[in-house]
Chain A
Amino acid sequence: MAFLKRRRFISVIGRKSAVPPGVWMKCAGCNQPVIRTEVGANQWVCPRCNYHLRITARRRIQYLVDPDSFQETHGTIVSADPLGFSVDEVNYSYRERVKKAKEKTGLNEAMITGFGRIESTRTVLALMDFSFRGGSMGSAVGEKFCRAVDDAVRERLPVVLFAASGGARMEEGLLSLVQMAKTADAVRRINEARLPYIAVLTDPTTGGVYASFASLADIILAEPGAHIGFAGPRLIESALKVELPEGFQSAEYQFRNGFVDRIVNRTELRPLLGKLLRYLSTP
C-alpha cells in the first residue's frame, strides 16, 4: 500500500500532519498555497482546483448527518490478534500497531457504524477511516458491517457506506480475506430485504474492500479524483513492466468504464444522498 502514501504531505488525517497547522498549506492537487481555514471551511476540498483531501470518518458524519442525529453502534467491537501476529526478528507486533492506531486516531477500529438522519431520512451508516491502519478490513470491520446490516434489516432502513480502504488487513491473514465473503453475504441480506444500499467510494477504495461489499451497492457514487481499483498500481507496474496511463484507477476512469454511477463533489453529497434516500424509501 506504499503508493497510497504519496499524498501524505498534505494529509489532514489524524492529529499528526506533516504540515504544521499554520495559516497556509500547499494543495497536492494544484501545488498552490491555499489558506488552511478556507480549505477546512470547504469540507477539505481545495477552493482553487477541487482537489479532495482525505478526511476522517468523524468529519464525514459532521458534514453528512443532521445535527445530533448520529448514534454510534457496535463501537466496542475491536480487533483481536487471532494469528498471534508478532514477529520478534523484525520487532513487529500487530497488537502494538493496533494500540498505536487507536491512540493516533481516537478510533476503536477502521469503521464507524451507526444510525443517523441524512436530510431527515433515518439511515444506517458505515464509515471507513483510512487513518486507522489504512482503513484495512479485518475481522472487526467485517463484523461491524454485518451487524450494521442486521440493524438495517431489523428496522427496515437504507444502508449508506463510505468506503476508504487500502484493502484487507494483512495481520489477520485469511480471517481478513474471508471478510470479503462475509460482507458480500451481508449485502445479500440487504438485497433480500429489498432495502436500498448506496456506497460512496472515497480516496482510496482498493483491494479486498473494493472487491467485496463496496462494489456491490445498488448505487455507487465516488468523490472526484478518488483512487479506486483492485490491484495496486505498483504491483501492476512491476508485474507488467509498464508505465501506467495518467488517471489510471481514478474515480473518473471507473466512471468512464461503467463502474460508478456518478462522481459527486463532497459538498454536494449530502443533498444528493438526501434526495436519493427519499426517492428510494418512498417510491
Chain B
Amino acid sequence: MTRSSRATESGLPHDLSFEATIAAIEKRIEEAASDEDRAAAQAELERESRRVFSKLTPWQHVELARHAQRPRMLDYTSRLLDDFVELHGDRALGDDPALVGGIGRFRGRSLVVVGQQKGVSTDEKVKRNFGMPHPEGYRKALRLFELAERLGLPVVTLVDTPAAHPGLDAEQHGQGPAIARNLWALTRLHTPVFTAILGEGGSGGALGIAVGDWVAMFEHAIYVICPPERCAEILWRDPAKKELAASALRVTAAELLELGVIDAVLPEPGGGAHRNPDAAADVLAEELDRFLAGVDEGRWTLEARQQKFRRMGRWEDAG
C-alpha cells in the first residue's frame, strides 16, 4: 500500500513515533530510481518492520489498535465479502450508525455480519459516534442474531469499539440491560458465531457482540476491561500512568490467548494491518473459512460455546 492512500483527510500521514524508520524506508521505495534500489529498500523494509514489531510494548499495541489508518470494519467486509446488504434499525427506537449489520455473502454462502464501524473521515467518525454504539445498536445486533438463528445462518461479529456510548440518552434507553440481553442471547443462540477483534475491544461495548464460539483477535489489536488511561486514573489518580496500566492489564492478543479468553491470534502483515489491509483481510478470510469448514463437518455445538464461557476465570479454592 502506498503512503498517499494511508494519508488522512488533511493529507498528512499519521505515523506513530516508533513507525518513523519504517515510514522513511517506505518513502525511499516510492522514490526509488531503479528496480534494484526498490528491491533493496523492500528487503530493508521487511527487516526493519520485523525489528520494530518484535519488541513492541503493551502501550504501543494500544497505539496500533487505535491507529488512525487501521482498517475499519467496513474495510474488512468490503474485502471479505462478495456482497453485503446492510440492514437498519432496532425495530423499537432507531438506527445506530455505530453498529453496522446485515447479510453478507462469503465464498458462496450467506452470513449475518454485525460489527462496530469507527469511521474514517471526520464526518464519518462523527456520524458513527467513533464506533461507540447506543442501546439501539445492541438491539439491532440482537434482532439480526435472532434472524440468523431462525434462518440457520452463521453469525460473524467484527469488534472495533472504544466502548459502549456513555451518555444520557444511552442510559435512558437502557445501555446496561441492552448489553446484558445480548450476552444472554448469545449464550443460547443456536447457530454458529465467529468473532474477530479487529482493533479496539473496549469492555462491555465489545463483549456485547463478542460471545462467540471462536474468538479470533488480530495480533496488534487490544481487548480491555477499561482503557489504560482510565484504569490509571481510577487506581492511581494519574492518567499519565497509562503505560503502566497497559502492561498490568494484559491487553495484547498473545497474553489474552494465554489467559484463555480468546481462541486464536491472527498474524498481521509486516508493519501492522494498516500497511497492508488486503493481506490482513486475507488472514481473516482464511480463519473464517476454517471455522465454517469445521461447522460443515459437524463439529459445532452450542454446548461447547456455553462450556467455554462457563470455564473462564481464574480463582483459588482456599478450602
- In the assembled complex, the CB of A107 is this many whole angstroms from the nearest CB of chain B, namely 13
Write the B243-264 contact mask toward A (1 if CB under 8 angstroms, else 0). Answer: 0100111110000100101000
Write the B282-319 contact mask toward A (1 if CB under 8 angstroms, else 0). Answer: 00000000000000000000000010011011111111
Contacts of B312 in A (CB 8 A): 139, 142, 175, 178-179, 181-182
A176 touches B225 (CB 8 A): yes
Please tell me if A23 contacts chain B, counting CB pairs below 8 Å: no
B176 touches A80 (CB 8 A): no
Question: Given A76-B317, A76-B318, A146-B310, A231 and B187 touching (CB < 8 A)?
Answer: no
B side interface size, CB within 8 A: 56
A188 touches B184 (CB 8 A): yes
A170 touches B315 (CB 8 A): no
Closest chain B residue, CB of each to CB of A229: B171
- Of the four ranges (under 10, 10 to 19, 20 to 34, 35 or more), the interface on chain A belongs to 35 or more
- In the assembled complex, the CB of A204 is this many whole angstroms from the nearest CB of chain B, namely 12
- In the assembled complex, the CB of A235 is this many whole angstroms from the nearest CB of chain B, namely 5
Closest chain B residue, CB of each to CB of A85: B248
CA distance A212 to B309 in the complex (A): 14
- In the assembled complex, the CB of A3 is this many whole angstroms from the nearest CB of chain B, namely 11
Contacts of A56 in B (CB 8 A): none
Contacts of A175 in B (CB 8 A): 259, 261, 312-314
Please tell me if B42 contacts chain A, counting CB pairs below 8 Å: no
Contacts of B230 in A (CB 8 A): 235
Q: Which of A87-95, A152-160, A261-269 faces chain B?
A: A87-95
Write the B148-175 contact mask toward A (1 if CB under 8 angstroms, else 0). Answer: 0000000000000000101110111111
A188 touches B188 (CB 8 A): yes
A211 touches B250 (CB 8 A): no
B234 touches A1 (CB 8 A): yes
Q: At the interface, is chain B mostly helix, strand, loop or mixed?
A: helix
Contacts of A188 in B (CB 8 A): 184, 187-188, 306
Question: Given A178-B207, A216-B181, A229-B176, A79 and B309 touching (CB < 8 A)?
Answer: no
CA distance A138 to B314 in the complex (A): 9
Please tell me if A213 contacts chain B, counting CB pairs below 8 Å: yes
- In the assembled complex, the CB of B23 is this many whole angstroms from the nearest CB of chain A, namely 31
CA distance A240 to B249 in the complex (A): 27
B187 touches A174 (CB 8 A): no
A92 touches B207 (CB 8 A): no
Of A78, A180, A208, A248, the residue contacting B315 (CB under 8 A) is A78
Closest chain A residue, CB of each to CB of B313: A139
Please tell me if B241 contacts chain A, counting CB pairs below 8 Å: yes
18 other contacts beyond A185-B310, A216-B181, A236-B167, with CB at 8 A cut-off? A76-B317, A78-B318, A139-B314, A170-B225, A171-B235, A174-B250, A174-B251, A178-B207, A181-B211, A181-B309, A207-B204, A208-B204, A214-B180, A230-B204, A235-B230, A239-B167, A248-B168, A248-B171
Can you name 11 A-B pairs with beta carbons within 8 Å?
Answer: A78-B317, A83-B249, A89-B241, A142-B312, A173-B225, A177-B225, A185-B187, A207-B204, A211-B183, A212-B180, A216-B184
Q: Which residues of B contact A (CB under 8 A)?
A: 164, 166-168, 170-177, 179-181, 183-184, 186-188, 203-204, 207-208, 211, 223-226, 230-231, 234-236, 238, 241, 244, 247-251, 256, 259, 261, 306, 309-310, 312-319
Q: Which residues of A contact B (CB under 8 A)?
A: 1-2, 75-80, 82-83, 85-87, 89-90, 92, 108, 138-140, 142-143, 146, 168, 170-182, 184-185, 187-188, 192, 207-208, 210-216, 229-232, 235-236, 239-240, 242, 244-245, 248-249, 257-259
